[in-house]
Chain A
Amino acid sequence: MIWFARLFAIAAKEVRQLSRDRITVGLIVGIPTIQLLLFGYAINFDVRGVSTAVLDQARTSLSRRLVGDLGATQVLGEIRQAGSERELRRLIQRGDANVGIVIAPDVERRIAEGDRAAMQILVDGSRPALENVAQGLTGIPLLRRAGMPAPHRPVEIIVAYNPAKRTAVQIVPALCGVILTMTMVIFTASAIVRERERGNLELLITTPVSVVQLMTGKLLPYVAIGLIQTTLILVLGYWLFDVPVTGSLVDLYLGALLFIAASLSLGLLISTVARTQFQAMQMAIVTMLPSILMSGFMFPFEGMPKAAQWIAQVLPLTHFNEIIRGIVLRGATLWDMRPELAKLAVFLAVTLTLSIKRFHKRLD
């Protein structure tokens, strides 16, 4: 009884202090809201309305229909006709067009024989994401609808789970993990280092409070804050970006709980190393940047070099991204996600053990 009374005394004190720190209270709600709005609206991997120049060397009804079909996809915007290859290149060079399409003079024969490219797509390589657009264009089944036999390489891209290819659907769940990483690690690291800086810890460790009581008591309020932030992100994601939760909410919260615990114990570990809040903040950022860049939140994990993939395996966010995308978008269950859950649990166990070992009730 006294054991838990001490733990709750610490937790209650932490909540009281937090509630008096208006800026921090603001940040609890403000960070997720601002990040969600910022990333949700600004990060957009969808490409629409790409200005295009077409050099139609065939000038047949088929080639005109091809151009019409290309224009019908929203990917291409304004389509300019170029009179010659030189003009086409000039248009791209000046930036008037970002994509150039060249239709060969003998397009009908090429399609029929199917061994040479009927259409060339020139891409302005200086602009990101456009190569993907070109890839996408080859998948448009326009050639079949032209009443001709199917070409030998009918590239067809089927996008599952996010048929509209909306970035927000991918971003919002992953953003949940990013925001939790940011707030949880920084909050805990600085909460403990602050007490050390202000001398409170020297007093606390001369009382009968145990290391486990002290740490659990200090972390509990932040677990609650993490769950509040998760809820906020999901609700905002649903309202603003129509991101539904396909899987079970209970599974989602359980997964989030494990991730929150892992992030908190990382913050705890930082707090046992850092002597000042400034140091704690910098260490938190050092762990945060790789989390954001390497966890598959921004860039596909598969494209990274082997070493980077190994590092990413250590980051809890990598696994949480998998879990939350699975549950929110693909309707997976926790059982489906057990390898990721196990990795998170290992991370939690290791960091927690290290923290408790490093944190002793002494000053030396």
Chain B
Amino acid sequence: MTPAISARGLARHFGKVIAVDGIDLDVPRAQIYGFLGPNGSGKSTTIRMLCGLLVPTRGTVDVLGYAVPRDAEILRRKLGYMTQRFSLWEDLTVEENLEFMGRVYGIDRALRRERIRDRVANYDLAAIASQRAGTLSGGERQRLALAAATLHNPELLLLDEPTSAVDPQSRRDFWENLFALVARGTTILVSTHYMDEAERCHRLAILDLGRVAAEGEPKVLVRDIDAAVIEIECGDLVAARRALGSVPAIRSIAQLGNRLRVLMPRDARDPERELRAALAPHCPEARVERVAASLEDVFVAATRLRRESATRERAA
């Protein structure tokens, strides 16, 4: 089957700022595809180019078989879009918002009623149906936004950081809803900066500085990480950090409670020994141990690597 979205060399400049810098993308159908990246990595800009809201500076986009932005208008009937910010009408009630969106999508009366009833039940909106959207909590708003974005049964759902203002339980429920949609054949593209959300995706593209830094299934990304992950446990972490400053190969250090998580190059011959040697004079009791990588390690390794090579390029 052809991918739901495929993009080649996609780029977008805003004046001198390069928001997206040549992205290749293949999003398979009926899966959840994640964009993981820090703020300003080009996630929103890419999503906006995919739905025709922004015209690419360079590159081609094909969404559900339509060339964007040329055929954006036809595509809009098959596309659901949830903006980063809540963008339904705060002075309308939950039901009125759904009714309005249904009419805008041209769903006829009987079907519209049925769909609204269905979404209200599925997304747990019955209790707040006649409440104005402006008075809803973050989780409720997000359920309403998802209900509105799926009223016309879109083939593709674009979600731009949908859970940034939502508590953990609501996030869990939200993802259950997404998987239910995928089970019915919907393709979902979701951007996030939460690792736990990224882990739930079928596939993932790690975006950094407007480029794809790594791409693949989360499990494979973790397995094939381009780094050795080592944890250090010791009494005086401040001293340990200082001691590690003498090891130039270290790519990153992060503290987790009373441990340090250190990323070393994958090709280092015996990274544990090198670290132990560096730590010995200052904290001889330190425990150094190689551990399995997490998605966050993948993220750090991928983005650090790119930034370093970018710096090197600039220096050269």
Bound together, the chains give a CA A10 to CA B103 distance in angstroms of: 9
Chain A interface size band reads 20 to 34
Q: Mark A191-205, 1 if CB is under 8 A from B, else 0.
A: 000000011101111
B176 in contact (CB, < 8 A): no
A142 in contact (CB, < 8 A): no
How far does the Cβ of B113 sit from chain A's closest Cβ, in whole Å? 15
Interface residue total, chain B, C-beta cutoff 8 A? 29
Chain-A contact segment, one of B86-94, B195-203, B277-285: B86-94
How far does the Cβ of B91 sit from chain A's closest Cβ, in whole Å? 5
B302 in contact (CB, < 8 A): no
The interface residues of chain A lying within 8 Å CB-to-CB of B92 are 13, 16-17
A110 in contact (CB, < 8 A): no
Is there contact, CB below 8 Å, between B88 and A20? no
Is there contact, CB below 8 Å, between A207 and B101? yes
Is there contact, CB below 8 Å, between A207 and B76? yes
Known interface pairs A2-B106, A199-B87; A13-B100 also in contact (CB < 8 Å): yes
B104 is contacted by which of A6, A198, A199, A202 (Cβ under 8 Å)?
Answer: A6
The interface residues of chain B lying within 8 Å CB-to-CB of A206 are 51-53, 76, 79, 81
The interface residues of chain A lying within 8 Å CB-to-CB of B106 are 2, 5-6, 208
Known interface pairs A200-B87, A202-B83, A206-B81; A362-B103 also in contact (CB < 8 Å): no
The interface residues of chain B lying within 8 Å CB-to-CB of A9 are 100, 103-104
Bound together, the chains give a CA A209 to CA B102 distance in angstroms of: 12
The interface residues of chain A lying within 8 Å CB-to-CB of B105 are 207-208
The interface residues of chain B lying within 8 Å CB-to-CB of A21 are 91
In the complex, the chain A residue whose C-beta lies closest to that of B93 is A16
How far does the Cβ of A214 sit from chain B's closest Cβ, in whole Å? 9
In the complex, the chain A residue whose C-beta lies closest to that of B57 is A364
A199 is contacted by which of B55, B76, B85, B96 (Cβ under 8 Å)?
Answer: B85
29 of the cross-chain contacts (CB-CB < 8 Å) are A6-B103, A6-B104, A9-B103, A10-B104, A13-B89, A16-B92, A16-B96, A17-B91, A17-B92, A20-B91, A21-B91, A198-B87, A200-B88, A200-B89, A202-B53, A203-B81, A203-B88, A206-B53, A207-B76, A208-B73, A208-B76, A208-B77, A208-B105, A361-B52, A361-B53, A362-B69, A363-B54, A364-B54, A364-B55
Residues of B within 8 A of A (CB): 48, 51-55, 69, 72-73, 76-77, 79, 81, 83, 85-92, 96, 100-101, 103-106
